[in-house]
């Protein structure tokens, strides 16, 4: 009888893990999921592979997960395949290069049980370097309860990491599938749709360790993402005009949404100039100016570090040219 009672209390969570040719990191991700299982909690792990490699398939089998081949490239298509296959009471996510924190999932389920009206729950994330060493504190500290305030925050620079998101399976109808036409920010677009359709809760618990690329090392990826971030912002900002307090508030939301790109290229320019990589530094400053001309001009005039890095890069290139002429 005790065994039967325990079986009835065990909650099933489907975990969707998109992967593409990273079997070593995939194994770490799957291990972090299985480590959370217990008498009260069971995971249906769905590895959705659009790399279609034998190594990823073997890693899936070794951790007793379900392998789903996905011929359409992209994390959005992979996650959609997982949504179609999921049978759990709740659905969670984890990217193949990230790992779950030990305290994940159970606080979400407890809050779902306490508040049956919630359709989804966001939680905290922790950024780490490539060696899984944290490089910042868990964030955010809090989220607004009121739906319009949460939507305004989502459209003002808050990107909830997908690994810290849990949704009731019954709430999928309101959220829909991931938009595969978006090369970037499919998860952000999907989370905004969740917040529009359902009440969203928040647990102040670190849920996922997000493995960051080295700063300034992925220019092309950032450049590809900017148009999609703009597209997602305008898609939702103008279809929900009532959430904005004023036209200036909307404009502020747009600026905050794109702030991370501006910061990325400005910081990259400064770091590269300090390493005397002058051409690469000017290239980063050019990208910052091209997409954010007013903000970049103001920063170069007022920020000593940015101004010095920009000036040193120009002088450095002229010095190199002069040396080449002499040689």
Question: Within a domain: residue 3?
Answer: no
**Same-domain status, 135 and 39:** yes
pLDDT at 4: 44
**Same-domain status, 197 and 223:** no
**Same-domain status, 62 and 198:** yes
**Same-domain status, 84 and 181:** yes
Q: Which of 151, 183, 211 is the last residue of a domain?
A: 211
Sign for the CA dihedral angle at 260, 21, 34, 47 comes to positive
**Same-domain status, 36 and 143:** yes
**Same-domain status, 152 and 134:** yes
Question: What is the domain extent for residue 48?
Answer: 8-211
Residue 87 region, left (φ>0) first, then alpha (ψ -120 to 50), else beta?
alpha
Give the chain's domain count.
Answer: 2
* SS3 state at 19: strand
Note if the pTM is more than 0.85: yes
Query: How far is the C-alpha of 151 from the C-alpha of 188, rounded, in Å?
Result: 11
Query: How far is the C-alpha of 80 from the C-alpha of 255, rounded, in Å?
Result: 30
pLDDT at 324: 53
**Same-domain status, 133 and 258:** no
pLDDT at 215: 74
With beta carbons less than 8 A apart as the criterion, state whether 136 and 247 touch. Answer: no
DSSP alpha helices (H): ranges in 10-129?
23-34, 54-62, 75-85, 106-114
**Same-domain status, 126 and 268:** no
**Same-domain status, 192 and 226:** no
Rounded mean pLDDT for each run of 10 residues along the chain, 327 residues in total: 53 97 97 97 97 94 97 94 97 97 97 97 95 93 95 96 96 90 93 96 97 84 94 95 95 95 94 93 94 92 92 83 50
Assign residue 88 the CATH number of its domain.
3.90.550.10
First to last CA, the chain: 88
**Same-domain status, 109 and 255:** no
Exposed, middle or buried: residue 214 (CB in 10 Å: 0-12, 13-18, 19+)?
exposed
Question: Within a domain: residue 2?
Answer: no
pLDDT at 46: 98
pLDDT at 321: 55
Question: Within a domain: residue 1?
Answer: no
**Same-domain status, 162 and 307:** no
pLDDT at 313: 92
**Same-domain status, 205 and 123:** yes
Q: Under 8 Å CB-to-CB from 211, ≥6 apart: which residues?
A: 25, 97, 98, 99, 128, 129, 130, 132
CA-CA distances (angstroms) from residue 181 to 18, 153, 309?
17, 24, 38
pLDDT at 216: 76
* SS3 state at 89: coil
């Amino acid at each position: 009888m005790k065994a039967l009672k325990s079986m009835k209390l065990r909650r099933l969570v489907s975990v969707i893990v998109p992967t593409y040719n990273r079997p070593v990191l995939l194994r770490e991700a799957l291990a972090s999921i299985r480590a959370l299982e217990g008498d009260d909690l069971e995971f249906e792990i769905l590895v959705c592979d659009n790399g279609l490699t034998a190594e990823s398939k073997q890693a899936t089998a070794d951790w007793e997960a379900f392998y789903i081949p996905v011929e359409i490239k992209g994390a959005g298509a992979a996650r959609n395949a997982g949504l179609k296959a999921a049978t759990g009471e709740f659905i969670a996510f984890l990217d193949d290069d990230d790992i779950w924190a030990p305290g994940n999932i159970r606080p979400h389920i407890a809050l779902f049980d306490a508040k049956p009206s919630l359709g989804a729950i966001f939680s905290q994330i922790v950024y780490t370097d490539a060696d899984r060493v944290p490089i910042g504190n868990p964030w955010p500290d809090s989220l607004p309860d009121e739906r319009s305030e949460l939507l305004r925050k989502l459209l003002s620079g808050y990107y909830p990491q997908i690994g810290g998101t849990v949704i009731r399976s019954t709430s999928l109808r309101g959220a829909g599938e991931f938009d595969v036409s978006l090369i970037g920010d499919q998860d952000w677009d999907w989370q905004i749709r969740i917040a529009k359709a359902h009440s969203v809760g928040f647990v102040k618990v670190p849920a996922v360790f997000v493995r960051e690329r080295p700063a300034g090392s992925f220019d092309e990826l950032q450049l590809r993402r900017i148009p999609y971030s703009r597209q997602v912002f305008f898609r939702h900002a103008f279809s929900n005009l009532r959430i904005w307090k004023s036209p200036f508030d909307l404009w502020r939301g747009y600026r905050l949404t794109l702030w991370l790109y501006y910061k990325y290229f400005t910081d990259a320019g400064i770091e590269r100039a300090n390493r005397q990589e002058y051409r690469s530094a000017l290239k980063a400053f050019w990208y910052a100016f091209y997409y954010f001309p007013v903000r970049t001009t103001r920063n170069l005039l007022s920020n000593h570090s940015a101004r010095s890095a920009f000036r040193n890069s120009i002088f450095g290139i002229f010095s190199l040219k002069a040396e080449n002429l002499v040689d």
